[in-house]
Chains A and B, each alone.
Chain A
Amino acid sequence: MRSLLPILTVLGAIVAIWYFAVAPMNVRVALDQVERSGATVEPATSVERRATSVWRLMRNNSEHVSVGYALERPRLPTPTQVGQELWKTTGEMVLRGRALSKRSLILHGWITLKSTLSGFVLGTVLGILGAVAIVYSRVTRMSLMPWAIISQTIPIVALAPMIIVLSSQLGVEGRGLPKAIISAYLCYFPVLVGMVKGLQSPAIAQLDLLRTYSASGLQSFLKLRLPASVPYLFTSLKIGIAAALVGTIVGELPTGAVSGLGARILIGDQFGTPLAIWAALFTAAILAGLLVTFLDLSQRLILRRMGMPS
């Protein structure tokens, strides 16, 4: 509860700045519309206005600035407009019993969520296995780690279309699998790095102690290294799931995709409907927030049960 006030303050500031920014961002479009409806604006033509700064336009046409807050296709929609569009594409659809229609962001959000989760699971498993290999073998430590780092320097937008093309060449139907692979590609790295650190976190004395018990390698892994890495794992998972969501959305961007939040963003761009883009963007943000919160709560619960309150 104590953290609520600062969060709300920051949120309030963001919304306020956003509302103020709408006026200069939309003033040109607003004046074009006002001009078409027959009213006089200063300067009179669109061409002249292009050479004038937005601040001057706002000063000269202060009575028309408010039009910018209710445009159908704004450069920057107001928070209210985005909220209305979100409601129209989610809650209202549910009320009308069409929760899974093609225009519903619930459907697209669900499609993105499915790919994100499968990519997250795949990436986490690969990350953990990679970390175990790196911690337990000098050969993999020398060979795998540099490649893991190099893999993250390749822009995912360049790689995503190739993965989609290649997987369709291999006869994979649909976008589910390639999207999951792209999202796993982004997600495995933080898990790998965090787990390597976590598995190596036990002090020498703790490893020596197990040696005095003649513990086997498997025993020291299960009883010491693995539990010691749990706090590190959760921190990585929170970064990983956000990366997985970004990966999925990037996987939905290349032309041809028709479903998923990424596709909605692309379609909104192509059809000039900024409200659709913003609504999809916010759905993605809310989704990410929910996923990270869920992981955060599980982290608290599990660490408390392990006697390690954070």
Chain B
Amino acid sequence: MKTNPVISAQNLSLTFQTNDGPVHALKDVSLDVDKGDFVSFIGPSGCGKTTFLRCMADLEHPTGGTITVNGTSPEEARRNRAYGYVFQAAGLYPWRTIGGNVRLPLEIMGYDKADQAARVKRVLDLVDLAGFEKKFPWQLSGGMQQRASIARALAFDADILLMDEPFGALDEIVRDHLNEQLLNLWDRTNKTICFVTHSIPEAVYLSTKIVVMSPRPGRITDVIESPLPRERPLDIRDTKEFLDIAHRVREGLRAGHSYEG
């Protein structure tokens, strides 16, 4: 029996009115994300992948079509605190310690003090930052800051994690390490993750489903269900299966570009 999709978009469109005329950030985008999926959105700048993610988070309002999150409108899902959002920049508050930053959503959502402390400890363990609770953000490396921001998004146990190029600004080695940790975390928590990225290897390595998008207007050109197993050591990236998927993604990206003429 098929369960209801966690996120479901039907003919979703979003047009920005600018001085240079309308910009079609999204046009007729339809996609279902099932529970426990790890979905990557990949495409060149301007393909609407971030806009799509922001529509799920109720940070943008679609101008056409429908989208549901947990079977409700994105606004209701946001009010129900159904998702955690990780931005490209860690965006930690410099005046709060790492623990204080992770506690921020808990304070806002009114968790009691004891629960706050327990949750902060648990999620910092989860992202391998135990012992850094009392440090200030500037005392941590970029990768550690980004891990703290993931802990912050995990702290209130939302089932959905929306991640907008969270590792985009980090170097290759740190990124590999964080990708591995993220898969591990996803495996243990069984969350539904939507992940925006520019990197083909990152998308293929992480995802159960890869959504290839193209710009002007922003749309989906290919959806690839990954045949890779859930358990993924880093060296899976040298297997033929992996390279085949990467090839298909690249083809999809190229096809998207050929429309421009």
Contacts and interface: CB of A to CB of B under 8 A. Distances in A.
Query: Do A and B associate with each other?
Result: yes
Interface of A: 203, 205-206, 208-215, 219, 223-224, 227-228, 230, 306-308
B94 interface: yes
B243 to A, nearest CB: 35
B91 A214 contact: no
Contact of A212 (B83, B88, B89, B96): B83
A208 B59 contact: yes
A213 B109 contact: yes
11 contacts: A203-B89, A205-B89, A205-B91, A209-B91, A211-B58, A212-B83, A215-B108, A223-B108, A224-B93, A306-B94, A307-B97
Nearest to B137: A307
B104 interface: yes
Interface in B103-143: 104-105, 107-109, 136-138
Contacts of A203: 89, 91
Contacts of A219: 108
Given A211-B58, A213-B81, 13 more contacts: A203-B89, A203-B91, A211-B59, A212-B57, A213-B108, A223-B108, A227-B95, A228-B95, A306-B94, A307-B94, A307-B136, A308-B94, A308-B95
Contacts of A206: 91, 93
Given A205-B87, A213-B81, A223 B104 contact: yes
Q: Determine the main DSSP class of A at the interface with B.
A: helix
B78 interface: yes
Nearest to B92: A206
Nearest to B139: A307
A265 to B, nearest CB: 43
A265 B49 CA distance: 69
Contacts of A213: 81, 104-105, 108-109
B85 interface: yes
A230 B94 CA distance: 12
Contacts of A224: 93
B87 A230 contact: no
Contacts of B89: 203, 205
A212 B95 contact: no
Contact of A214 (B78, B87, B94, B96): B78
A227 B97 CA distance: 13
Contacts of B107: 223
Given A223-B104, A223-B108, A307-B96, A212 B85 contact: yes
